[in-house]
């Protein structure tokens, strides 16, 4: 099964359409807006699964392949979970305040060399 790729604008619209008091809207929308405008976002491919943001490095990746899931938590934090195995205890996971989401995302991309790999493959 292939991921139905969405544009950053579609993802941004999805989170913008949530009720204004929604914790998911409050925590996810600033990150999505940042990614939609950033160079980092231009090299990555998002899609939405319910209220989670999922991101992969490759356009035509199977939906069960390695990807990052970002979820809004009830306490106003965001969970970053890298799904590269079905064993939850072996998945990389970080919970951060929403205000730290951009920096955490940049660190994640740096750790996995996603941006470097993307720019190399286009040369």
Supply the pTM of this predicted model: 0.84
- 60 or 44, which is more confident: 44
Give the integer Cα–Cα distance in Å for 97 and 118.
28
Give the integer Cα–Cα distance in Å for 111 and 30.
22
- 12 or 89, which is more confident: 12
> What are the phi and psi torsion angles at 14 (to 5°)?
-55, -50
> What are the phi and psi torsion angles at 108 (to 5°)?
-60, -50
With a cut of 80, say whether residue 63 has pLDDT above it. no
With a cut of 60, say whether residue 10 has pLDDT above it. yes
pLDDT value for 37? 94
Percentage, residues of the chain above pLDDT 90 = 54
Give the integer Cα–Cα distance in Å for 99 and 42.
22
Confidence of residue 3 (pLDDT cuts 50, 70, 90): low
With a cut of 60, say whether residue 78 has pLDDT above it. yes
Averaged confidence pLDDT in the chain: 86
Q: What is the separation of C-alpha 85 from the centre of its chain, rounded to a whole number of angstroms?
A: 17
DSSP state of 73: -
């Amino acid at each position: 099964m292939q991921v139905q790729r969405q544009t950053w604008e579609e993802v941004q619209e999805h989170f913008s359409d949530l009720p204004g008091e929604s914790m998911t809207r409050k925590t996810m929308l600033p990150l999505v807006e940042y990614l939609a405008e950033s160079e980092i976002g231009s090299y990555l491919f998002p899609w939405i699964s319910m209220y989670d943001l999922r991101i992969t490095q490759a356009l035509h990746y199977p939906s069960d392949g390695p990807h990052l899931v970002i979820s809004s938590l009830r306490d106003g934090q965001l969970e970053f979970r890298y799904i590269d195995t079905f064993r939850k205890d072996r998945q990389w996971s970080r919970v951060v305040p929403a205000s730290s989401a951009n920096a955490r995302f940049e660190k994640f991309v740096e750790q996995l060399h996603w941006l470097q790999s993307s720019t190399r493959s286009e040369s």
